[in-house]
């Protein structure tokens, strides 16, 4: 039997071990902008090397790997074309994953190299590798922060559509999106429910970009943008408080502080909605289980937070003054965890 054959439960062990190779090949292509240069027509490795100011021999080897991965089509000799699956590495295209590849190949790749330190100590690998926390690092490196924001926006339309389809927001009057970034999810929610009003709450460094996008969507008359720090307080008078990809960034103590601040701003009966990946109670080999486990380890390595099971979310909510009322799956990996203020 071929020792490299795919096992019934997933890829071969050797392919799992060498996953870092694929990450770096895709990262190099994203950083150089290979997909953008091939968008209009096929080109030779020599043409690309001249345009990119890189070594032609080394680039040729990268191009071969990209063709083997199905991201490029090798036309013979040194000529390559962009394959359909490679179009998502183009910059600025709908559904582009270029920023995701950049973030993975630079920041995340280095931090994951410290995962053993995290397992031995319980500390965040990012802090160990970079000497500061991830959000502190992004504040000091605006380019990385920009890549991070673009990466978080990747897939936002698909995620927002899934959330709107899974939950009836029209029952609320005012939705407060706590840590809502540039407002992609809140914009989709408001567009789907014309009678709804919104408040986007974010750090002062983020709110200018949010205002631009909300105005561009024609929603500025229905949506206020407020600056602040959710570790201190959040805006009052909302009927529904939304936390999308926020709680998983933090440990239980800091997550509890965010939830407590939301509860302090809410009247009894107001609702809290957490959008996160919810861990299964039991893990067995499957793509979904791998995705969940790796997402949880990513939080350990990068932020010091964690993904959680429904039971863990229930414990957090009860401690902050909520009753967990439902956990609703969506068409994407994340679920909606709903709580009611008591």
Q: Cα separations (Å) of 300 from 88, 114, 179?
A: 28, 10, 20
| Cβ contact 200:226 at 8 Å | yes
What does residue 327 show for φ and ψ, rounded to 5 degrees? -130, 115
Residue 241, exposed/middle/buried by CB under 10 A (0-12, 13-18, 19+)? Answer: buried
| Cβ contact 322:340 at 8 Å | yes
Q: In three state form, how does the secondary structure of 52-85 look?
A: HCCCHHHHHHHHHHHHHCCCEEEEECCEEEECHH
Strand residue runs (E) in 164-210: 174-178, 197-202
| Cβ contact 202:246 at 8 Å | no
Torsion angle (degrees, nearest 10) of CA 10, 13, 16, 21: -140
- 141 catalytic residue (yes or no): no
Tokens in use for 319? 């401690």
DSSP secondary structure letters along 103-128: HIIIIIHHHHTTHHHHHHHS--HHHH
In angstroms, rounded to a whole number, what is the distance separating the alpha carbons of residues 58 and 55? 6
| CA-based max dimension of the chain | 70
Give 54's contacts (C-beta < 8 A, 6+ positions apart): 32
74, 248, 291, 298: which one is catalytic? 248
Tokens in use for 189? 């929610």
Annotated catalytic sites, by residue?
248
């Amino acid at each position: 039997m071929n020792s490299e054959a795919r096992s019934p439960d997933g890829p071969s062990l050797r392919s799992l071990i060498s996953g870092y190779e694929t990450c770096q090949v895709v990262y190099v292509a994203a950083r150089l902008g290979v997909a953008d240069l091939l968008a209009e027509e096929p080109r030779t490795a020599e043409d690309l090397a001249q345009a990119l100011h890189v070594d032609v021999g080394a680039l040729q080897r990268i191009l071969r790997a990209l063709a083997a991965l199905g991201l490029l089509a090798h036309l013979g000799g040194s000529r390559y074309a962009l394959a359909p699956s490679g179009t998502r590495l183009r910059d600025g295209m709908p559904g582009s994953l270029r920023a995701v590849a950049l973030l993975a190949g630079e920041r995340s790749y280095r931090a994951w190299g410290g995962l053993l330190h995290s397992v031995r100590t319980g500390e965040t690998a990012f802090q160990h590798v970079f000497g500061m926390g991830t959000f502190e690092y992004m504040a000091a490196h605006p380019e990385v922060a920009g890549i991070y924001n673009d990466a978080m926006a990747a897939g936002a339309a698909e995620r927002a559509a899934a959330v709107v389809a899974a939950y009836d927001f029209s029952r609320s009057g005012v939705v407060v999106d706590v840590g809502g970034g540039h407002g992609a999810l809140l914009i989709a929610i408001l567009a789907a429910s014309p009678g709804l009003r919104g408040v986007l709450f974010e750090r002062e460094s983020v709110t200018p970009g949010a205002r631009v996008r909300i105005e561009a969507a024609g929603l500025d008359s229905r949506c206020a943008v407020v600056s602040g720090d959710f570790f201190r307080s959040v805006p009052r008078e909302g009927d529904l408080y939304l936390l999308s990809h926020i709680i998983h960034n933090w440990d239980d103590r800091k997550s509890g502080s965010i939830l407590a601040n939301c509860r302090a701003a809410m009247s009894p009966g107001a609702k809290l909605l957490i959008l996160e990946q919810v861990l299964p109670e039991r893990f067995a080999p499957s793509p979904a289980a791998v995705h969940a486990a790796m997402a949880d380890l990513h939080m350990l390595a990068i932020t010091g937070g964690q993904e959680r099971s429904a039971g863990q979310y229930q414990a957090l909510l009860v401690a902050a003054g909520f009753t967990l009322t439902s956990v609703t799956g969506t068409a994407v990996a994340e679920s909606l965890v709903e709580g009611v203020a008591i």
